[in-house]
Amino acid sequence: MDFIAVIAVTLIVAFLFWKILLKGRRERENLPGGSLGYPIIGETFSFLQAQKQDRGPQWLEERTAKHGPVFKTCLMGSPTVVVIGQAGNKFVLGAEDDVLAAKQPTTLSAISGKQNIFELTGSRYRLVKRAMVSFLKPESLQNYIKQMDELIKTMLLRETENKDTINAVVTMKKLTFNIASSILFGIKDENTREVLFDDFSLAFKAVWSLPINLPGTVYWRGLRARARIVDSILPVLKERREELAMGKLSPTSDVFSSLLALRDENQEPVSDDLIMDNYVTLMIASHDTSAILLSLMIWKLSTDSEIYKKVLQEQMDIISRREGAEDRLTWQEIQKMKYTWTVAQELMRMIPPVFGSFRKTLKDTQYGGYDIPKGWQVFWVAYGTHMNKEIFDKPNEFDPSRFENSSKPIPPYAYIPFGGGLHTCIGNEFARVEVLTTIHNLVTMFEWSQVYPEEKITRQPMPYPSMGLPIKIKPRIS
């Protein structure tokens, strides 16, 4: 009882101190309207609950109705200013790094590591970005098409062997994780990939959680999972470093070898910590968001017969036009999947894989007539423009044709599933190729239907079919 009393008194004192601090700040600064909620916790619980129920837009609308398109709150342990709309997107995504840095919430920083590419600035950011982009640009991706196609085909056959029903979400997560592990990082051992997959699943859940490091919490489990990931990868780095030194491995072999070969402005190699942090970050960014889009594509193709027929026709036409004995996808064939990609684009407009993202102010700044103090977070959201009828006609209707040479061009910073400006996702082309290659194999090899046709989408915190999207699947009969 004494312990409980101490906790209660501590919380009360913290709450009173919080109120006094805020009152003083309001007197000194012109902060936007809104509520910072309870100390540390803020409005995190209500925000995450709204996401889980797929009510994120409603959560925003309740606050914008009271305070306008700029309001304050407290999320993931930090005071936050939320900006809604095209101008807000441009303000955040187009800002210089010395004003708004891609500093992430405590949870993401702890799981990814403090030297991940989203946290880096200046010359160190450019150095790491160049190394990563070298494997993600179109010229490099052309070399991976056949390998990716073979890996996807093999995995789909194995996951569906002797089964008439599979969990599509889990299958897509495994598939995209193995693609990233094998192609980007050269991790070929299946046992190693399986262990890493389990730990990354725990680590990702911790990214959007409260930073409470107590046994049993999501955050605590995520930190322990990251530690196990590090223990698994350090021997891989040691082996790759030795192979580079002996000339058995090229700096262009995979992302690990590229990062190991990096030299900073003093011609010193970058640290293992930096390599590890960016490995974790790239794995989280590259496999989960693609798995989301693929799951949504399977879900959409299951529920919309007209869209499905058009996608199937496009993919079958690609096979029918092949000449000779070639039975693997080519870069040229990927470029012909225009309709399939517009379906993916429209899905990302209506159900963006990333609801929004954080930046952190490195100095006092202003936006929309309000002060944003140094150290606060700024949060942008895709919803404010993706569902804006002034930008997209009839935004609640699913219409892939809006991305086909529309007579009404989409303005900058309005369609942002991959971010924008200085912080456009470096893996957007890799994701496009991965998604199109997977859908090609799925629709040409299999037929499927949903086990639960009324299955809804919920954010956990990313948007997934609420029941894991079990599907009845069978080989396609030619």
Report, as an integer, the average pLDDT of 178-194. 91
pLDDT in tens, 33-83: 999 988 878 898 899 888 888 888 899 999 999 999 999 999 878 899 999
Q: Give the percent of the chain with pLDDT over 70.
A: 91
Is 74 labelled as part of a ligand binding site?
no
Residue 1's pLDDT is 46
- 34: closest CA among 379, 417, 447, 475? 379
Closest CA to 207 of 111, 75, 78: 111
Tell whether the model's pLDDT for residue 3 goes beyond 70.
no
Measuring CA to CA, which residue among 123, 121, 135, 100 is closest to residue 282?
135
SS3 458: strand
Contact 413, 90 (CB under 8 A): yes
Position 216, amino acid: G
- According to DSSP, the residues that pair with 473 across neighbouring strands are 448
Mean per-residue pLDDT of the chain:
88
The full set of domains in the chain, from first to last, is: 31-475 (1.10.630.10)
* Distance, CA of 425 to CA of 422 (rounded, Å): 9
Residue 208 has pLDDT above 50, yes or no: yes
**Residue 104 to residues 100, 107, 423, Cα–Cα distance (Å):** 11, 8, 13
Composition of the chain by helix, strand, coil, percent to 5 = 55, 10, 35
Structure tokens at 69: 């398109």
Backbone angles phi, psi at 377, to 5 degrees: -90, 150
Question: What tens digit of pLDDT does each residue of 304-361 get?
Answer: 999 999 999 999 999 999 876 667 899 999 999 999 999 999 999 999 988 888 888 9
Q: Is 258 exposed, middle or buried (0-12, 13-18, 19+ CB in 10 A)?
A: buried
Per residue in 106-163, pLDDT tens? 888 899 988 888 777 778 888 888 888 887 888 888 888 999 999 999 999 999 999 9
Edge-to-edge order in the sheet of strand 165-167: 165-167, 470-475, 446-450
CA-CA distance, 8 to 6, in Å (whole number)? 5
- Cβ–Cβ under 8 Å, residues 388 and 402: no
